[in-house]
Amino acid sequence: MSSKYKTLKEECYEANMQLNVLNLVVYTFGNVSAVDRKNDVFAIKPSGVSYSDLKVEDIVILDFDNNIIEGGLRPSSDTKTHAYLYKNWDDIGGIAHTHATYSVAWAQSQLDIPILGTTHADHLTADIPCAPPMKDELIQGNYEHNTGIQIIECFKDKQLSHKEVEMILIGSHGPFAWGKDAAKAVYNSKVLEVVAEMAYLTRQINSNAPRLKNSLIKKHYERKHGAKSYYGQ
C-alpha cells in the first residue's frame, strides 16, 4: 500500500482489531479513529465492514470537516462525532466507540457509574459521567455531529476535564473513550467496560454500596498517576 498515511492507517487498523479481540464490539458495532495532527486528518474504520474482512487499505482518511481525503469506502456512521471532538479537543490522539454490554447497560440506565472501588480509582477520581439523552430536535438534525456537542457540553456541565476523565456514557446509547493515541482509547474502553461490570455486580450484592472513601481514591490514583507515583517499573 502506497500512501502518505500508511502509518496512520495501520495504527487505526490495529486499534480496531483490538476492539474485537477484547470483546468490546458486537458484529460491526464499534469503531476507533486515530489522528495525525501534523496533517490535520484522522483515520477511521469504514462503516459496516466486519472485522474478519477489514484490511489496512480499507481505513478511511478524513479532515476535521468530514471531507474524505483518502479511501474508497464510506467512513463509520459515527465519523462526525470523532471529527467534532478532534476539532475541539486538540490534545487527544484517538477515540473509540463500542457497544460493550455493561457500558451500554449503564448508558441505558442513564446513570453515572459511581466510583465504588480501587480499580476505578486506579484510572480516574470521578464517577464516569453519563450524558442525558439528546433532545428531539438535535436527534432529528445533524445527529452524529450533535453527539460530539453533547459530550463536550456534559463535561462542561459536570465541570470535568477530558484529560483526567477519558471516557463517557451517552444516555440511551453507549460509551465513548479517548486518549493520547488510538491504543489508549481502546485501553480506556476496556477499563470502562470492566469498571461498569464491577459496579453493576456490586450494586446487585448491596444496592447501598457506598462510594469509595476519598483517602483511597487519592492513594490509588496518585500511586499510578501522581508526581510521586511508584506503580510499575
Domain locations in the chain as residue ranges: 6-225
Strands 167-170 and 130-131: parallel
What pLDDT does residue 224 have?
84
What pLDDT does residue 227 have?
80
Instruction: Using CB atoms within 10 Å of the CB of residue 175, give its burial: 0 to 12 exposed, 13 to 18 middle, 19+ buried.
Output: buried
d(CA 160, CA 8): 30
> Which CATH code of 1.10.10.10, 1.10.287.130, 1.10.1370.20, 3.40.225.10 fits the domain covering 6-225?
3.40.225.10
Contact 118, 220 (CB under 8 A): yes
What pLDDT does residue 229 have?
83
Grid coordinates belonging to 172? 440511551
Grid coordinates belonging to 92? 487527544
92: closest CA among 185, 3, 158, 24?
A: 185
What pLDDT does residue 34 have?
98
Q: What is the CA radius of gyration of the chain?
A: 18
For the chain (233 residues), the mean pLDDT of every run of 10, in chain order, is 87 97 92 97 96 96 97 97 98 97 98 98 96 92 95 97 97 97 98 98 98 94 85 80
Catalytic residues: 122, 231
Query: What pTM does this model have?
Result: 0.95
What pLDDT does residue 231 have?
83
